[in-house]
Amino acid sequence: MLDEHALRIFPGLEGALANAGALVMRSFKATPNPELLRRHAGVAVVGGRDKPGLIARLERATATLAVVPAPVIGALPPGVPPTRDLLGPGVVDLLPAGTPRAPERILLMARVPVVTGARPKAPVSPAGGAGRGVPGAPVDELVAVASSTGGVWVVGAMLRDLPPSGRAVVLAQHMDAEFVSFFARWLSGTSGWHTVVVEGEVLLGAGSIYLPAGGMDLVVDGDRARAVPPNSRYVPSADRLLSSVASRGRPGVGVVLSGMGSDGAAGLAELVRAGGTGICQEPATAVVASMPESALRASPAARAVPPDTLAQAVAMGAHRSHAGP
C-alpha cells in the first residue's frame, strides 16, 4: 500500500502498478489487514484509472479475513535515509526518492509476509506519563512541530535522533481523525519516545511527544497541553499550537516541516518574536515545500535545515533559547 506522494516522486509508478493489477490483487489477498486497508481508502492505492474500483474489490476480497499485517511500502522524502528504525507497523520496504526500478521492487515486496512484534515499542497512552522520560519529570525544553504532507517520515527520523532527557515535543500533524491512533502507534515505535494522544488536558512531562486526538487542535498553557475544538481549515492547526507555545514565557523551539499551504508561518513568526528559535525543513528536501517556504518568508531569522541534521539543530536551538539572548 502506498501513499499519494509515492505516486508523485516515482514517475510512471501508477501506470506500472495498474498494468500489474491482477498480481497486486493476489498479493494483497494473501496477507491483508482489512482495518488498515479501509482506513487508507482514498489515500493509499495501487493505481490506475480504476483506482476506486480496485480499492473496492480489495476491500470486498479481504473483508472476511483475519486481521494480520498488510505489506506497506514507505516512500521517503529526499534527505531521509532508509534506516531500519523507520520501519513502522507492517512496513516491508523503504524507498528513498529517486529509487530506480521502484515499480518492480514494490511488486516484489508486496508478496513478502510480514512478521511483527519482534521490536519493542515505546508506550502510547491517551493521557499523561512518559516512556523514555520520567513520569511527571519537569520540562526544561519544549519543541513545537508543524507537519503535513511528506512530514511524517521526517518527524519520525528527527525524534529518533533527538535526546528526550528534559525535553517534551508537541506536534500538529495535519491528518484525518481516523488515522491518529495508527499514527501514534507508528510514531512511538519509530522514535522510541512515549507518545501521548491528548483528549482533554494533560501535564507535560519530559521524554514524551504530545499530539491531539482526531479532529482536535492542540494548545499549550503553561505546563499543560489541551485538546480543543478546531478553529480553522487546518486540523490540527500549526499556527494555533505555535502561538500558544510563544506565549508560554520560555517558548523554546518551533519547527515547520513539509506540507501544503502556509499553516505554521504566522505561529512560528510569533514564537521567534517571543525569543524562541525557528527551524524549517530545507524546502528543496520537502515533498511539498510551501509550508517551510512560507515560514521562512515570515521569519527571516529561522534556519533552513535538511532532514538529516534537524535533530542536531533542534537540540542546539533549544539550548540557545534556554540560555536566553
Active site residues: 148, 174, 263
SS3 of the chain = CEEHHHHHHCCCHHHHHHHCHHHHHHHHHHCCCHHHHHHCCCCEECCCCCHHHHHHHHHHHHCCCCCCCCCEEEEECCCCCCCHHHCCCCEEEEEECCCCCHHHHHHHHCCCCCCCCCCCCCCEECCCCCCCCCCCCCCCEEEEEEECCCCHHHHHHHHHHCCCCCEEEEEEECCCHHHHHHHHHHHHHHHCCEEEEECCEEECCCCEEEEECCCCEEEEECCEEEEECCCCCCCCCHHHHHHHHHCCCCCCEEEECCCCCCCCHHHHHHHHHCCCEEEEECHHHCCCCHHHHHHHHHCCCCEEECHHHHHHHHHHHHHHHHHCC
